[in-house]
Structure 1
Amino acid sequence: MDVHEKYLKFPGEVPVKWKILGRLLDSRGTFVSGEELGDLLQISRPAIWKQIQILMREGIPIEAAHRKGYRVPESLDLLRPDQIQSSLVTSFLGRPILYTRETGSTNDDAKLLAGESSPDELPEGTVLIADTQSRGKGRLGRSWQSPPGGIFMSIILRPRVSPSRVPALSIVVGFAVASAIKDVLGLFAEVKWPNDVLIGGRKVAGVLCEMRAELDVTSVVVAGIGVNANFDLEVLPPLLRDKTTSLSWELGRPVDRNSLVASVLNTLEPLYMEFLGGGLSRLLPRVEKVLAYAGMPVRIQNTSPGSPEVSEGILEGIDPDGRLILGLPDGSRRYFSAGDLSLRPV
């Protein structure tokens, strides 16, 4: 399917089937009659049934019962762009939201759209979001596990800054995610340089910023965000379970993904504007309060083939360019830019 046709735009003209699904989601676990749906949408009950069948073919678990109507399970967890937007206090982030139930990668889709669209057609702040991904990816092209129940979104940004400043933007986005998790759920989350978010030392979210530049100015940044929201760790490969966590696992209950997405966007917008105005410098005191392994002995290893260099020292912080500062045993400092590096506590 063409990427332009795959996504629903909010706000925008919403298909009848989505309006029906929205009403059923509002009454999870409770039957809604065909008559009520018909009156709501001003269409016949046979027309309602036709749309219900389309939704069922698309994998939505809808129960149809004679004389009762239709219902979806109380446990059905789908993103609701309309609810996300109703909670936004932003001026441009999430305006609009492009939503699809499933895609390969929201970052790939966002890059494709950005390459084919003008800033007027795809304004800064546009968010692409999906319920599931089949080809999620992380830093350096690594695959990102994307089980159902996560948050997978990409934000179109047009910062018009030097490409050298874009790596620092990953830290800003990660800080926004960590802050939103704390604000909405009360869970203390840390930013792990350069682009991860941790809870209790285990990864709960990741950020991937990909850019397009013209000469010495960045024209587009696609800021991808993946959050392990509602899923059981048992679905992950055994090697990942000790390194990974999810919000529902930490809390012992499902989380409202819509509220969290809105909070991430509400938190990120002023941080992004501050970054545009003064770079990372003014944000660093806040970021370093939640910087994973700050003041601790760490090991940094170059993971490039043929370059197994290892450095050990004290993680002293991050500089205004987004580089990690490592204090060495001889009292000197070494600065690391994001790349083929692995950061671990000693």
Structure 2
Amino acid sequence: MLVDMVCKRCNTDILGKLEMLRSSPIGIARAFFQPHGRDRGKHTTAPGIQARRKQMANESGYPDEVDFGPHAKPIVLPQLKITGEKSFTSTAAGPDELRSFVTTLSALFQSHQITCIRKRGPEHQLRYEAIIMLSPDKTFIQTESSFQAKPPRGGIWLERYDETDAEDVTPAATILQKLDGGLVLKTSSATVEDALDFFAQAVEQISYDSQVTRDIEGPLISVGMTTTVGVMERVIAKNGINLLAHYLGRDYVTDPGFRQIKDSILTGTPSVPADLVENDRIKQVLNAAPEHHHVFYLTRTRRSGGRAAITMIAHLYGVPLLIRLTLDAPEPHPPFPVFFLVDYVNHEVKLQSEAEYAEALPAMWAK
């Protein structure tokens, strides 16, 4: 939409790191309503939820690690959990998934060298620590580590259990395989070395004859995520500025009247002026949009001296949020208000005038 207008530093380096759609309440709504993300051919996946905890209650008291498929259907990830000094449990969505997982682990441990990857905070330029673990005599030891800009391929990602919000018993360690095939080792009381030693022996002892398959009706799912207040509003406001640039041209949004909202978008200070829409009639109008569509509704209020205030209502997954983009900008000459309809299944955007949008709901406009 914005050919030769997008600033890489702002759009990617600053706002791209906010990951609003995966780590916010909107991310949960997106997982339920949107069947898949952008079309990437055979790599197209269901929308992800970025959370520090995604677990399903288990009769043993040790929760199972899960992820979400289309329409937020929980999928039990293949995993091994240390539940005692010499005991462990194995869980997966089905027998085939467990066998494949164990085969992958067995091949990994037989190589006697494993690269573990630990992700650091965004303040670090080299965000990934690569740790080389060797097992010369069936006991893993750390030999070296280095910091890299990109994670090495084929390693095991290291995570820690957050025991402060644990609702069930936390295993000493869990090794699991994500939906994309990546391996994760989560530890609590066990060290990384001890956990690798344990699981290397465990994969040799798994008996598939003792596995039990059962359906779970009404699973209890726990999701814990950390969100930053104001981030969602910043990303939505950025979309509003982009839509204005597309509709009115780049020069329009360079007016000094947009300076404050741009500062809010880029830095979070001052906070983006936003409110939930309470007007029932406006909500009715926005709810009348076609199924699987977001609506961005741009309006203007005339001011003296040829100036205007510009407001946007973003209707995302059924929730309307009003954002004031500017209180003092040049009076726009093209027609206002306008509607941008975003088909979030086919990833298409359509611009409609008020009259064009009204054609789809004549009975409502007539009231």
More helix by share: 1
> Could you state the TM-score of these two structures normalised by the residue count of structure 2?
0.27
> Could you state the TM-score of these two structures normalised by the residue count of structure 1?
0.28
Q: Which has the larger radius of gyration?
A: 2
